[in-house]
């Protein structure tokens, strides 16, 4: 059985031992070693090298999740693997469970068509700039949306410019001539053809996306599908997803009937009617829609990010398709695969109880403030005692920082973060930004980077 050495600080040692002892049927034996510092998060690779003598009698070493420094160099020094654990020691059971059941989220089957809805009003350069952002966020095809009674003279130049960028392109228009021009310029897909405009598919090499002749006319969509199948032509079929409360349920049923009628037909689902026209967080809406897409074996989704509340729709769609593909592939619930779509709340927001925080606070002998959050509220403590409240303004007068501007600013920011985390039910870690999943761009922090010796939390 593998033996693991866990390195920690004095304050965290009792809790770490308790957590490790609670892991039932652990596939490893363990030892906890406190290396002579108070706060485990301040541990560095250089500190470990100085304080932990080689050789180490273990199969691997696990250090705190915030430990900075080059762990590969440490591994070479000790001759065994050295890895960071989770940032919160109470996440260790899930950390080892995930390590035992790695989930590959690099795979997906649903293609994302990201629409630029006002393309006729933009210059070619503006179209390309938007397309680059959409591609970065996960789009596979850039959809150029036409506008009613609005000329699109630059459609050919836009298609050629996007193709020169290595991008797949679709034209979305109800104007047959606009579709022809885009197709002849090299567009890969044409949206949206119906039974009466199938002739366009004979004029260009682009793959058509088929819709009903009029909304809800399933018979015309079925006829268009059968016509292209008879010709041996590629296509996508879209029964049209309606918004709430104008027929969403009925439209989902239409997708199901289409799948039953044509088990192998590639389907497109346009989801903007839900994400754009429902004033709710789009991460959850995307999760449900891509769950439906996985069950229906949908080949492509058309999405937009026009409304301010839907400005991360493409990135959310990219994560949703990966998560739902993994769930469908391994026949499991879409739980424990990724936290990226949990943008507002956290699954395990409060790892520590008020009693555990109080026990830790009783051991502190220095003036530096620590901030933690539990179900009871926000806790701030140092050698002068523990303060507990439910808001920054409630706790602030108890800290007596009127004559220390920089420290006051720091604590104001931390208390605001902590209060926000407590009210929403998010995980709070002192000195770290709140995790908003894929809703907020966040550069990956390089914990291998050198950090100044003596850096400490105030």
Span 384-398, pLDDT tens digits: 999 999 999 999 999
Domain ranges of the chain: 2-100, 111-329, 354-439
User: What value does the mean pLDDT of the chain take?
Assistant: 93
To the nearest whole percent, how much of the chain has pLDDT over 70? 96
Span 65-77, pLDDT tens digits: 989 999 999 999 9
Strands (E), 313-352: none
Confidence of residue 23 (pLDDT cuts 50, 70, 90): confident
Number of neighbouring beta carbons within 10 Å of residue 368: 14
Span 327-370, pLDDT tens digits: 999 888 998 889 999 999 999 999 999 999 999 999 999 999 99
Residue 456 has pLDDT above 70, yes or no: no
Residue 444 has pLDDT above 70, yes or no: no
Cβ 311 vs Cβ 137: under 8 Å: no
Task: Reply yes or no on domain 2-100 having CATH 1.10.260.
Answer: no
Fold classified for 111-329:
TIM Barrel (3.20.20)
Confidence of residue 457 (pLDDT cuts 50, 70, 90): very low
Cβ 111 vs Cβ 141: under 8 Å: yes
Cβ 131 vs Cβ 167: under 8 Å: yes
How far apart are the C-alpha atoms of 77 and 274, rounded to whole Å? Answer: 55
**Mean pLDDT highest for which of 40-44, 144-148, 161-165, 364-368?**
161-165
- Beta pairing, strands 28-34 & 82-84: unpaired
pTM summary value? 0.84
∠ Cα 245 246 251 (to 5°): 110
Confidence of residue 100 (pLDDT cuts 50, 70, 90): low
């Amino acid at each position: 059985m593998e033996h693991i050495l866990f390195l920690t600080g004095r304050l965290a040692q009792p809790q770490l031992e308790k957590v490790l002892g609670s892991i039932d049927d652990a596939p490893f034996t363990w030892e906890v070693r406190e290396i002579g510092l108070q706060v485990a998060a301040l541990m560095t690779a250089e500190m470990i090298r100085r304080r932990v003598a080689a050789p180490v009698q273990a199969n691997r070493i696990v250090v705190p999740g915030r430990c900075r420094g080059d762990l590969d160099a440490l591994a070479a020094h000790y001759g065994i693997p050295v890895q960071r654990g989770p940032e919160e020691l109470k996440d260790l059971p899930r950390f080892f469970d995930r390590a035992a059941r790695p989930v590959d989220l690099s795979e997906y089957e649903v293609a994302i068509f990201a629409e630029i809805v006002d393309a006729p009003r933009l210059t070619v350069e503006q179209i390309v700039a938007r397309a680059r952002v959409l591609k970065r966020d996960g789009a596979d095809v850039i959809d150029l949306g036409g506008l009613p009674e609005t000329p699109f003279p630059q459609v050919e130049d836009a298609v050629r410019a996007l193709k020169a960028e290595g991008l797949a392109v679709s034209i979305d228009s109800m104007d047959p001539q606009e579709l022809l021009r885009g197709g002849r310029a090299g567009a890969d897909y044409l949206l949206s053809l119906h039974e009466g405009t199938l002739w366009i598919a004979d004029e260009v090499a682009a793959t058509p996306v088929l819709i009903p002749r009029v909304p809800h006319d399933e018979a015309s969509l079925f006829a268009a599908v059968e016509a292209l199948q008879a010709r041996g032509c590629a296509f996508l079929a879209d029964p049209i997803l309606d918004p709430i409360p104008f027929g969403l349920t009925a439209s989902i049923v239409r997708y199901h009937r289409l799948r039953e009628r044509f088990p192998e037909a590639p389907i497109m689902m346009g989801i903007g009617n839900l994400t754009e026209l429902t004033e709710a967080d789009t991460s959850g809406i995307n999760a449900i829609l891509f769950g439906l897409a996985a069950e229906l074996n949908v080949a492509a989704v058309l999405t937009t990010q026009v409304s301010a509340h839907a400005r991360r729709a493409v990135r959310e769609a990219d994560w949703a398709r990966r998560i739902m593909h993994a769930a469908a592939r391994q026949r499991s619930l879409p739980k424990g695969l990724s936290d990226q779509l949990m943008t507002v709340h956290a699954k395990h927001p409060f790892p520590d109880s008020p009693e555990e925080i109080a026990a830790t606070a009783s051991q502190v002998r220095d003036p530096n403030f620590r901030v933690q959050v539990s179900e009871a509220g926000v806790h701030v403590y140092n050698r002068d005692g523990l303060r507990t409240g439910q808001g920054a303004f409630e706790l602030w007068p108890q800290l007596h920082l009127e004559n220390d501007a920089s420290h006051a600013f720091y604590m104001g920011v931390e208390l605001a973060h902590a209060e926000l985390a407590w009210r929403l039910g998010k995980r709070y870690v002192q000195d770290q930004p709140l995790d908003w999943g894929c809703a907020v761009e966040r550069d990956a922090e390089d914990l291998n980077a050198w950090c100044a010796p003596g850096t400490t939390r105030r």
